[in-house]
Structure 1
């Protein structure tokens, strides 16, 4: 027998799984400055608009600013993680994308109806974006569940 310490299944998972794989680090590094830049750009555009803006325009600026802040926060959160995420990052990104797609589709459709141009094209294009975002959210949840199942198999823990 050797005197080497034996690693538990959890220790093996932590050693084998990169804390933040290069692909995820690139995604985080891209999301953080893109979110900050978007926030600055949309916020500056909103702030410098002359005169009082209509309510729906205020709402659109607020939504776009909020989504940019969400992406910046996601990028910052992802860069600060020092533990295996088990695809939590993908689930969060998918939900941000789905929320942004739904809200943008709703705002564009309402604006199209108010302008009298009809909401058909807005709903068709927005529906496509929502469908893709929903598919990515479902895939992210499935991947996370599979990784957690595998971790529980390796560690012998019961699933919650």
Structure 2
């Protein structure tokens, strides 16, 4: 009677590598479509605005277009991955969200101050968004660290 060869933890990980879970695939497609759709929408608004626009309006349109294209790039990158990500995708998404919330808060606060409406509400709402994004970034880093520790334990410290 022949016995099935035993697979090491690294062999199991390598066998799972080409498979992208449906949850990750759905997140990737959603990020890609939302990013492309948002970039087209914001770009069309920007292009179709009548008359000369103030500099801060150009800055805002450019910033939102960059954010949308960043999400589209992230979604495309995620769809092309064929290796275990160990939550790197979540860390990247958290940093994109944190950068977007910080930049948006800064732009909205500057606009509010320039209009003379005060920065209080802009800073309060922006601060809340930044706090949530920061909490998600911390959580994503902790999850990634836990997964990498677990992989290290399962592989006996072997390097990939």
- TM-score surpassing 0.5? yes
| Runs of 5+ unmatched residues, structure 1 | none
Q: 2:2 maps to which residue?
A: 2
Within 5 A, what are the aligned runs for 1:30-109?
30-109=30-109
- Separation in 2, partners of 1:26, 1:57: 33
**Shift of residue 116 of structure 1?**
0.3
Q: 2:144 maps to which residue?
A: 144
**Shift of residue 8 of structure 1?**
1.9
Counterpart of 2:51 in 1: which secondary structure?
A: coil
- Separation in 2, partners of 1:16, 1:158: 17
CA contact (8 A) 1:9 1:155 kept: yes
Q: 2:123 maps to which residue?
A: 123
**Shift of residue 54 of structure 1?**
1.1
Q: Report Cα offsets for 1:29-64 as digits up to 9, x if no partner.
A: 111111000000101111111222111111101110
Within 5 A, what are the aligned runs for 1:16-27?
19-27=19-27
Aligned residues, how many? 159
CA contact (8 A) 1:19 1:81 kept: no
- Separation in 2, partners of 1:18, 1:88: 16
- Separation in 2, partners of 1:23, 1:103: 29
- Separation in 2, partners of 1:154, 1:68: 38
**Shift of residue 16 of structure 1?**
5.5
CA contact (8 A) 1:33 1:72 kept: yes
Quick check: 18-27 or 127-136, which moved more?
A: 18-27
| Runs of 5+ unmatched residues, structure 2 | none
Relative to the length of structure 1, the TM-score reads: 0.93
Relative to the length of structure 2, the TM-score reads: 0.93
Quick check: 20-29 or 104-113, which moved more?
A: 20-29
Q: CA RMSD in A?
A: 1.7
**Shift of residue 6 of structure 1?**
2.5
Counterpart of 2:19 in 1: which secondary structure?
A: coil
